[in-house]
């Protein structure tokens, strides 16, 4: 009895061999010869990366809830892709990477995607050369890049060739940074170079159930002895919180659709403006919702210290309330987003007092710096919305380098050359105001609401402004307590009780006096009056007129702005 396992098959073993005559696709069948043989070889080569893949490999992708690279391309566009650099060797060298040009919404986009069904999407020297050629061409032609990353890293049998391939791709992508924008989608399990390369791009989108990182869990276990899951090591929650991933989504389709939507806000290159989109939303539409928001917040028991979600303000300013937020799960003290105002793409950089009073810490400062620098490189005007009590103080922030992070934020704002407007909603204190796009740092226009509280310090500033009055009040406390105690003793109250009662009355009196000075400080100094008098604020705006005033002024600045690359070599900020 044979020990060889019998595999079931539908093929008839007695059927004669079928000889298929090859004809050029679309050609009427005719006599074949040497020409047809050459054409068949060429046709087989063209289809080799697709046809050579076993059905089982495709099924494995689908079993993991992943698409093939060709299926992903169809999500991006209905148009037939123009596949370039179809070079591969006898061992399918280079076939694990697809490169080409797509038409997305009438725009040319350079695309690459790892084919995980071929050698797990790994990179060899041929792949690296293909990628470098694609990046170079994208920079020369001025078209954006979309990457679909699904790679096990360098192809080990290729030896140093795989490493050279990555190095060549790294260099080419860095050279077009700041020239054309790039969007990187992370699929599957990526490690090593498969993580470095996409993070060189402008934006990274990561779906759930994916991983990318320096090393995988297996390496961490063998080197450090730590048991860690892929999700804990390099999942979307980890990278979304650190800013390594700009956007996290539910699945692959969501990632690709998000890439298409993000692309609609980006220009083709650093020499043109982002696409203009006509809108039916009137520019003079009254923003009553903003007025209602502030009325309910500031008339509440907590008054002008009430947190306000600034995303509502951004929504009401944008055309039809539509905007695209970046890094939405990280450093929520500030919101960075793209939106359209009267059809033109605008970047919004807004303090969010709904989180930690809008205080700027290391993460939010770096988030601002990166976004502002991107807008500056790609001719996107910026509206800064300010409502912050300042930089977050404390030992932890100093240890993390808040001075350096704040400096990065300030540098990015000072360097801005695109049209920019500052809108002060409420709080604008100290160094945060001084480094947040005011007139001295280069703002084209500074507007403020009547609710603005512009000052060197918040309520604590009374300690300096009314120093003498407070000193007199506090110095007189012992005498007041002694006097009140004596009065109570004379009235027949026990000495100990008299002392306690006198101390409480004196303390309440001091608190009342300090509260009165707080109100006086707010009325005299924490308001827009001094800013208007000095010219630090150009004019006041009513909440209901925000869309109209911002839109009209931005349109004016854009009419007199000429899109052009920044002078000298400039790269995107990381």
Convert the pLDDT of each residue in 274-319 to its tens digit. Answer: 999 999 999 999 999 999 999 999 999 998 889 999 999 999 999 9
Q: Give the bridge partners for 107, in sequence order.
A: 104
Helix (H, G, I), strand (E, B) or coil at 62: helix
Kindly indicate the confidence band of residue 194, based on its pLDDT and cuts at 50, 70 and 90: confident
**Dihedral angle at the C-alpha atoms of 409, 413, 415, 417, nearest 10 degrees?**
150
- Give the mean pLDDT of the chain: 88
d(CA 525, CA 455): 6
Q: Mark whether 106 is an active-site residue.
A: no
Max mean pLDDT among 218-232, 248-262, 488-502, 508-522 falls in 248-262
Helix (H, G, I), strand (E, B) or coil at 368: helix
d(CA 433, CA 197): 37
Instruction: Render the burial of 216-246: b for 16+ CB within 10 Å, e for the rest.
Output: bbeebeeeeeeeeebeebbbbebbbeebbbb
Say which residue, 198 or 501, is predicted with more confidence.
Answer: 198
Say which residue, 18 or 398, is predicted with more confidence.
Answer: 398
d(CA 360, CA 364): 6
d(CA 370, CA 204): 13
- pLDDT computed for residue 175 by the predictor: 94
C-alpha to C-alpha distances, 397 to 206, 365, 377, 514, nearest whole angstrom:
28, 11, 29, 30
- pLDDT computed for residue 464 by the predictor: 64
From 96, 98, 103, select the one nearest 85 (Cα to Cα): 98
DSSP 348: E
Please pick, among 42, 89, 303, 431, the residue that the annotation labels catalytic.
431
Helix (H, G, I), strand (E, B) or coil at 529: helix
Mean pLDDT (whole number) for 346-369:
95
d(CA 153, CA 192): 6
Instruction: Render the burial of 396-412: b for 16+ CB within 10 Å, e for the rest.
Output: ebeeeebeebbebbbeb
Count the neighbouring beta carbons within 10 Å of the beta carbon of residue 507.
13
Mean pLDDT (whole number) for 489-502:
80
d(CA 215, CA 151): 13
Kindly indicate the confidence band of residue 28, based on its pLDDT and cuts at 50, 70 and 90: low
**CA within 13 Å, CB half, 298:** 15
Mean pLDDT (whole number) for 358-362:
94
Q: Mark whether 431 is an active-site residue.
A: yes
**Does 478 have pLDDT greater than 90?**
no
Please pick, among 161, 178, 188, 193, the residue that the annotation labels catalytic.
193
Burial of 559 (0-12, 13-18, 19+ CB in 10 A): exposed
Determine which of 93-102, 320-329, 355-364, 512-521 has the lowest per-residue pLDDT on average. Answer: 512-521
d(CA 440, CA 410): 12
**Does 19 have pLDDT greater than 60?**
no
Mean pLDDT (whole number) for 551-559:
96
From 74, 107, 71, select the one nearest 263 (Cα to Cα): 107
Mean pLDDT (whole number) for 131-145:
96
- pLDDT computed for residue 191 by the predictor: 84
Please pick, among 297, 432, 498, 506, the residue that the annotation labels catalytic.
432
Say which residue, 568 or 471, is predicted with more confidence.
Answer: 471
Q: Mark whether 193 is an active-site residue.
A: yes
Kindly indicate the confidence band of residue 488, based on its pLDDT and cuts at 50, 70 and 90: confident
d(CA 296, CA 337): 25
Helix (H, G, I), strand (E, B) or coil at 112: strand
Report the DSSP pairing between strands 97-104 and 82-84.
Answer: antiparallel
- pLDDT computed for residue 281 by the predictor: 97
Mean pLDDT (whole number) for 161-175:
89
C-alpha of 435 from chain center: 21
Contact (CB, 8 A) for 503 and 481: yes
Residues 6+ apart with CB under 8 A from 296: none
Helix (H, G, I), strand (E, B) or coil at 258: helix
Contact (CB, 8 A) for 114 and 149: yes
Kindly indicate the confidence band of residue 272, based on its pLDDT and cuts at 50, 70 and 90: very high
Contact (CB, 8 A) for 74 and 256: no
Contact (CB, 8 A) for 209 and 169: no
Say which residue, 422 or 228, is predicted with more confidence.
Answer: 422
Mean pLDDT (whole number) for 81-102:
81
Write out pLDDT tens, residues 367-376. Answer: 999 999 999 9
Please pick, among 94, 100, 192, 347, the residue that the annotation labels catalytic.
192
- pLDDT computed for residue 462 by the predictor: 62
What is the sign of the dihedral through the CA atoms of 368, 371, 375 and 376? Answer: positive
Q: Mark whether 399 is an active-site residue.
A: no
From 87, 85, 89, select the one nearest 111 (Cα to Cα): 85
**Does 573 have pLDDT greater than 80?**
no
Mean pLDDT (whole number) for 186-195:
87
Contact (CB, 8 A) for 212 and 149: yes
**Does 51 have pLDDT greater than 80?**
no
**Does 569 have pLDDT greater than 70?**
no
**Does 470 have pLDDT greater than 80?**
no
Helix (H, G, I), strand (E, B) or coil at 311: helix
Helix (H, G, I), strand (E, B) or coil at 361: coil
- pLDDT computed for residue 539 by the predictor: 93
């Amino acid at each position: 009895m044979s020990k060889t396992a019998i595999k079931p098959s539908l093929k008839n073993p007695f059927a004669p061999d079928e000889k298929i005559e090859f004809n050029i696709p679309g050609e009427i069948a005719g006599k074949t010869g040497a020409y047809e043989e050459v054409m068949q070889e060429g046709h087989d080569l063209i289809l080799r990366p697709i046809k050579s893949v076993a059905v089982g490999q495709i099924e494995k992708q689908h079993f993991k809830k992943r698409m093939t690279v060709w299926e992903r391309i169809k999500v991006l566009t209905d148009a037939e892709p123009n596949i370039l650099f179809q070079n591969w060797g006898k061992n399918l060298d280079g076939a694990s990477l697809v490169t080409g040009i797509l038409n997305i919404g009438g725009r040319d986009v350079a695309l690459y995607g790892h084919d995980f069904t071929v050698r797990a999407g790994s990179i060899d020297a041929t792949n690296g050369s293909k990628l470098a050629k694609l990046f170079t061409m994208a920079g020369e032609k001025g078209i954006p890049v979309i990457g679909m990353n699904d790679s096990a890293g360098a192809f080990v049998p290729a030896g140093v060739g795989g490493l050279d391939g990555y190095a060549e791709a790294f260099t080419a992508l860095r050279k077009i940074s700041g020239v054309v924008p790039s969007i990187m989608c992370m699929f599957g399990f990526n490690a090593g170079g498969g993580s470095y390369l996409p993070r060189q791009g402008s934006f990274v989108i990561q779906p759930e159930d994916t991983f990318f990182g320096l090393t995988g869990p297996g390496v961490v276990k063998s080197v450090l002895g730590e048991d860690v899951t892929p999700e804990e090591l390099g999942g979307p929650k980890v990278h979304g919180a650190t800013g390594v991933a700009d956007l996290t989504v539910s699945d692959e389709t969501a990632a690709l659709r998000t890439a298409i939507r993000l692309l609609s806000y980006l220009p083709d290159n650093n020499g043109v403006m982002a696409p203009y989109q006509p809108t039916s939303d009137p520019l003079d539409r009254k923003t009553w919702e903003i007025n209602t928001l502030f009325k309910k917040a500031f008339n509440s028991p907590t008054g002008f210290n009430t947190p306000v979600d600034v995303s509502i303000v951004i929504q009401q300013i944008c055309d039809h309330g539509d905007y695209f937020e970046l890094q939405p799960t990280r450093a929520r003290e500030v919101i960075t987003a793209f939106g359209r105002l009267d059809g033109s793409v605008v970047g919004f950089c807004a303090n969010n007092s709904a989180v930690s009073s809008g205080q700027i810490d290391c993460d939010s400062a770096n988030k601002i710096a990166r976004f502002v620098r991107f807008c500056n490189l790609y001719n996107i005007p910026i509206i800064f919305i300010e409502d912050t009590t300042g930089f977050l103080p404390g030992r932890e922030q100093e240890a993390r380098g808040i001075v350096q992070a704040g400096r990065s934020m300030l540098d990015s704002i000072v360097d801005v050359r695109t049209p920019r407007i500052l809108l002060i909603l409420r709080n604008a204190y100290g160094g945060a105001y001084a480094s947040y796009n005011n007139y001295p740092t280069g703002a084209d226009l500074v507007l403020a609401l009547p609710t603005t509280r512009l000052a060197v310090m918040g309520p604590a500033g009374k300690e300096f402004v009314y120093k003498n009055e407070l000193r007199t009040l506090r110095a007189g406390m012992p005498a007041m307590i002694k006097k009140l105690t004596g009065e109570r003793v004379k009235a027949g109250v026990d000495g100990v009780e008299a002392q306690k009662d006198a101390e409480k009355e004196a303390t309440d009196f001091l608190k009342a006096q300090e509260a009165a000075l707080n109100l006086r400080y707010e009325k005299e100094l924490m308001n827009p009056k001094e800013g208007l008098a000095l010219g630090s604020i150009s004019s006041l705006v009513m909440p209901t007129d925000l869309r109209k005033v911002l839109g009209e002024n931005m349109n004016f600045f854009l009419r007199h702005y000429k899109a052009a690359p920044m002078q000298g070599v400039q790269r995107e900020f990381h």
